[in-house]
Each structure stands twice: as C-alpha cells, then as structure tokens.
Structure 1
C-alpha cells in the first residue's frame, strides 16, 4: 500500500514538474536535446548511487520496510531526466510534505556513497567543491529544487554523511586491532576504497593516542 501511494505521488509530481518546467523556461526541441545529453556524466554517478541502494546492508528487524524503501529509491533513480519530483518548502526554507521522507532517504543514499562523497576528507567542511557539486546535481536530477534551497539540502547531506562515518566507526573499527588484522578478518566497509579505509583507521587511531 505504501509503495502504491508513493508511486502515485511520483506520478503526480511528474505532472507538476512538467508544469513547473514549462512556466520557468521555454522548452523547444533544441533545448530538450541539450538537456538530455547533458546528463551523460550524471548517469554514471546515478549508476553508482543505484548500486549503493542495491547493496545496502539490511540487518534490522525492519527489513521488509527497508525493502519497500529500496524499491521506492529504485523508482526515483529510474525516473526519466525530464520527469523530476517537485519538493515543497515551508517558510523557513525546509522541505516538507509527502515527498520529504523520500527526499531525505535519497540524500542518504548519496551521502553513503564513497565515490560521490568520500570519507577520506574527514571533515565535511573540507569536502571539495567538485564533490559537493556532483552531489547537488544528483539531487536536482531527480527533484525540482530551486538553487536558493541548496544550502538546506547540503546541510541535510552533511548530517547524513557524518552519521554514515559514525556508523562505519561503530561497526567496523577496533582500536585494539591493527589495520592489517581488521582487513583480514572482515571486509572493508561497503562503499569505501582500501585507501579511504586506511586514512580513516589512521585518523581514528591517532586521535585516540592524542587523548591518552
């Protein structure tokens, strides 16, 4: 039932997005062609994010709900480039309404993708502009969000990115085990490259030594 309701929302938002696009810009054949071809680099990123959704670990008792959530995320990623979902914002500039949870979950899949927003930056404030721009483009490729709301969206993404880093440390890091031993007894956390995992391990280890 939840999936049917969300898919209905997606269909309604698609119709609204077409009205928004036509009122905000003149769409002709030339522009339409340019718009679709401009997404080719983005499609690569979308495939990476989609793979992240497919491979997310489901360890809680709410696995059925997560499966439904994954199905909805796949529906979002599968949207035609011309069909974006229209997000509503309140007077404080915060997203709200029926699509808010879907947007938040979508942002979470991007934040947890180590190829899009690598954890080796250690501090969200030091994330490169290129990575931030790529993440923003992934969001606006699926959701109609005016540029003046970017700050709020990126704040949501930064919070999700920090939660992911905290989760990685809690589930995969052991200060009493060397990096070589950790890699030998358990796989590198999903979404991380060996280089990023090494950077994180050394950072957490050095931080603990400073506190001794």
Structure 2
C-alpha cells in the first residue's frame, strides 16, 4: 500500500520545516555543497525517525531540504541583511529572534 496524498503533503511540509530550522542547518553556509556531510546525515536520520522512507527516496528528500533552506536563506538575506548595507550591529539587532546570533552573521 502506497502513501496517501495527505501523508506526502505532511512529508513535504516537514521537509520544508527542517530546511528552515537553524538547529539543523545554519544560514552561514554559502551553498549546499559546503554543508557538512554529517549535518546532512543528521537531517536524513531525523526525517526517517518521523517517516518510514525507503533509502531510494533520499535524493528527493535531500533536494527538498536543500530547496527549502535556499529559499529561506534568500528571504532572510533580502529582509535582514541587504537593508543594513553590511552594518553587522544593525543586522544582528534586526535579525529574526528565532535565529541565534551565532547562526546569523556573527
């Protein structure tokens, strides 16, 4: 028996949530290729603790995490970096509170 539409939707939403969670992946990385493999393994393992997934789904899942992380990083940069023209004090003062200083630009 395959997954239901709702279960696929739940997984897709969960993947997006993980991609935006700085406890799993920092915004400080310049691109997905430099994100440590150990961090990617932790993400895969955590997602598998919530959903029973075949190993063959790993590329699809990780591409989803990567996309969510990249979109989130772009939104944060546009709203919280660019308006402050490189002034780190202003960037930190105006960062989203859910993002720790150490994950933001310190």
Pairwise TM-score range, normalised by the shorter structure: 0.7 to 0.9
Maintained 8 Å contact 2:92/2:105: no
Structure 1 runs of 4+ aligned residues shifted over 2 Å read 181-184, 188-193
TM-score, normalised by the number of residues in structure 1 = 0.45
In the alignment, structure 1 residue 131 sits paired with structure 2 residue 39? yes
Q: State TM-score, norm by structure 2.
A: 0.84
Work out the CA distance in 2 between the residues paired with 1:191 and 1:111.
Answer: 14
Report the alpha carbon displacement of residue 99 of structure 1 after superposing the two structures with TM. Answer: 1.5
Residue 194 in structure 1 maps to residue 101 in structure 2: yes
Q: Is the 8 A contact 1:107 1:139 kept in 2?
A: yes
How many pairs were matched up? 105
Note the residue ranges of structure 1 that are not aligned, 5 or more in a row: 1-15, 17-86, 89-95, 200-212
Partner SS for 2:96: coil
Greater Rg over alpha carbons, structure: 1
Q: 1:173-188 residue pairs with structure 2 within 5 A?
A: 173=81, 174-176=83-85, 178-184=87-93, 186=94, 188=95
Which residue does the alignment assign to 1:48?
none
Structure having greater relative contact order (Cα 8 Å, sep ≥ 6): 2
Query: Which residue matches 2:78?
Result: 170
Runs of 5+ unmatched residues, structure 2: none
- CA RMSD of superposed structures (Å): 2.1
